[in-house]
Amino acid sequence: MRTPVADFIDSYIAGDGVRAHMPGHKGAGPLGIEVRDITEIAGADVLSESVGILGESQKNACTLFGTGATLYSTEGSSLAVKAMLYSVMMHWKQGVKETEYSRPFILAARNVHRAMLDGCALLDLDLEFIRSGQAHGLCSAVVTAQEVEKSLKACGKLPAAVYLTSPDYLGVQSDIAAIAEVCHKYGTLLAVDNAHGAYLAFLEASKHPIHLGADLCCDSAHKTLPVLTGGAYLHLHENIVSEILDSARKGLTMFGSTSPSYLILQSLDLCNEYLEREFRRELAECVKKIRQFKKAAGDRGLHIMEGEPLKIVIDTGASGYDGEEIAGELREFVYCTGGRKRSGIECEFADHHTVVFMMSPQNGPEDWNMMYRWLDRTRLRHPEKAFAPVERPGMKPVIRRMTIREAVFAESEVIPVREAEGRILAQETVSCPPAIPIAVSGEEIDGNMIRVFEEYGIRDVSVVK
């Protein structure tokens, strides 16, 4: 498989010509990578058009992932999510009679990323949530096909799409195949935020949303593949590509920068070659190592949550420990091997109840040795009294007082969260990670939301005046 973007830049560097164009560093600088950082010069193609080397590279990715179309984002899944929302809204408008519905809406699981709510505000999309009984704290809101069908029936009108986050931040996956079947039975699209699951297409039996029937989904390549931060994909299913490809491209252009990073584009381009050659084998070996580590942790009395293959999620609360305390323990852990001292294990995420590790084939033997040494010494092996998480938002009925767009663009003020009960949330107040809103713009803040805000260390919120 060719790597046309990287090859073009190799050729440009070899020419050693005068860079009388942007960027201002002219290929020289302290990072040492500036020489590969260019802009849309002749022959470099333009991402919003993709008729040259970028178009060829995206077709390579499309072939590897087995999609109807795969488009690049250099601004992460945050950009791809907004383009997905634009695509489903435009698809809805094409298929609906003007007299039927005045406003499109999305039916979603509650653990959406903030980027999705920002997209709803910008596009003036309404949002209805699927009630689910399966959850673990703020980050998880897995839904069943039966819950989706029940919600579709209760809506009274057809949503522009059903929208799921799967895998979620704790690695929990919804039954995409069954939910896709329900969505298509009712005549609506299924859009999936698969930011954490780009690698799922390369398992021995693919678990990628597109292969399970989703109409469109986004992957953050940088989360689980060897791609620079910001590299992401927007995938379209072959059954729907002819209807939404144009809108998907327009959405990426509308919300994205006109100066996409060519460093990230090269990273996505070179990743194609890796995916074609080594990745399946290396992924299988990594999944095996993670299974072995999970078993070893369970044998030592740690509470391991089940989920997607590349995540290790420890329920620290079940052992009586605050996950943030354990994250501190990990950062302070020191391991000496062969005369070399290594300091600290930095986990992906920790809250009061969980610690999340995200591993990949790029974690070498010494990484795993250090993980096992920590496993032998962690205080989690000496349980204290377990404690239960605060009830997540949405378990009880939530009162919506304004649309998302109305609330986001309303005049607002910042007040202490302890004084916010009964007020309407304006801009979302979230920490990243996990960037999952506790309350959604336009909702009335209730006592449980306040408890969750405080649990995540949020002391002030923006409310409508």
| pLDDT score of 40 more than 80 | yes
Least confident span in 1-5, 154-158, 454-458: 454-458
- Amino acid found at 327: A
Residues 378-389 have a mean pLDDT of 84
| pLDDT score of 138 more than 80 | no
Residues 305-333 have a mean pLDDT of 94
| pLDDT score of 242 more than 60 | yes
Question: Between these two residues, 154 and 455, which has the higher pLDDT value?
Answer: 154
Residues 270-290 have a mean pLDDT of 97
| pLDDT score of 73 more than 80 | yes
Q: How confident is the model at residue 69 (pLDDT cuts 50, 70, 90)?
A: very high
Placement of tokens 């923006």 in the chain: 462
For the chain, helix, strand, coil in percent to 5 are 40, 15, 45
Residues 323-332 have a mean pLDDT of 96
Q: What is the distance between the alpha carbons of residues 313 and 297, in angstroms, rounded to a whole number?
A: 11
| pLDDT score of 269 more than 90 | yes
pLDDT more than 70, % of the chain = 94
- Amino acid found at 362: Q
Max Cα distance, the chain (Å) = 75
Ordered domains of the chain (ranges, CATH): 4-277 (3.40.640.10), 283-381 (3.90.1150.150), 404-464 (3.90.105.10)
Least confident span in 103-112, 127-136, 277-286, 440-449: 127-136
Q: How confident is the model at residue 431 (pLDDT cuts 50, 70, 90)?
A: low
Q: What is the distance between the alpha carbons of residues 396 and 398, in angstroms, rounded to a whole number?
A: 6
Looking at residue 95, its pLDDT comes to 80
Residue-wise pLDDT for 75-104, tens only, equals 999 999 999 999 999 999 988 655 455 689
Placement of tokens 């897995």 in the chain: 142
Question: Between these two residues, 112 and 371, which has the higher pLDDT value?
Answer: 371
Q: How confident is the model at residue 21 (pLDDT cuts 50, 70, 90)?
A: very high
- Residues with Cβ within 8 Å of residue 59, at least 6 apart in sequence: none
Q: How confident is the model at residue 210 (pLDDT cuts 50, 70, 90)?
A: very high
Give the pair of three-digit tokens for residue 238: 């072959």
What pairing do the DSSP bridges indicate for beta strands 304-305 and 311-315?
Answer: antiparallel
Where do the H-state alpha helices sit in 221-364? 221-224, 241-255, 262-277, 279-299, 323-332
Residue-wise pLDDT for 139-157, tens only, equals 677 789 999 999 999 988 8
Nearest to 137 by CA among 312, 325, 294, 355: 355
Placement of tokens 């309350």 in the chain: 439
- Amino acid found at 300: R
Contact 375, 341 (CB under 8 A): no
Residue-wise pLDDT for 412-424, tens only, equals 999 999 999 999 9
Q: How confident is the model at residue 191 (pLDDT cuts 50, 70, 90)?
A: very high
| pLDDT score of 110 more than 90 | no
Looking at residue 178, its pLDDT comes to 98
| pLDDT score of 391 more than 70 | no
| pLDDT score of 357 more than 70 | yes
Q: What is the DSSP string of 372-399?
A: HHHHHH-GGGS-----PPPPPTTSS---
Q: How confident is the model at residue 310 (pLDDT cuts 50, 70, 90)?
A: very high
Looking at residue 38, its pLDDT comes to 96
Q: What is the distance between the alpha carbons of residues 238 and 252, in angstroms, rounded to a whole number?
A: 19
Looking at residue 72, its pLDDT comes to 98
Nearest to 374 by CA among 357, 388, 386: 357
Please give the mean pLDDT across all residues of the chain. Answer: 92
Q: How confident is the model at residue 448 (pLDDT cuts 50, 70, 90)?
A: confident
Contact 169, 142 (CB under 8 A): no
Give the pair of three-digit tokens for residue 330: 């990990």
Q: Which residues of 221-247 are buried (b: 16+ CB within 10 A; e: fewer)?
A: bbbbbbbbebbbbbbbbeebbebbeeb
Residue 310 CB: number of other CB atoms within 10 A? 24
Q: How confident is the model at residue 107 (pLDDT cuts 50, 70, 90)?
A: very high
Least confident span in 90-94, 321-325, 337-341: 337-341
| pLDDT score of 281 more than 90 | yes
Residue 29 CB: number of other CB atoms within 10 A? 13
Residue-wise pLDDT for 174-190, tens only, equals 999 999 999 999 999 99
- Residues with Cβ within 8 Å of residue 38, at least 6 apart in sequence: 9, 12, 21, 23, 44, 262
Q: What is the DSSP string of 122-164?
A: HHT-EEEE---S---STT-----HHHHHHHHHHHSS--SEEEE
Task: State pTM to two decimals.
Answer: 0.93
Bridge partners (DSSP) listed for residue 192: 164, 217
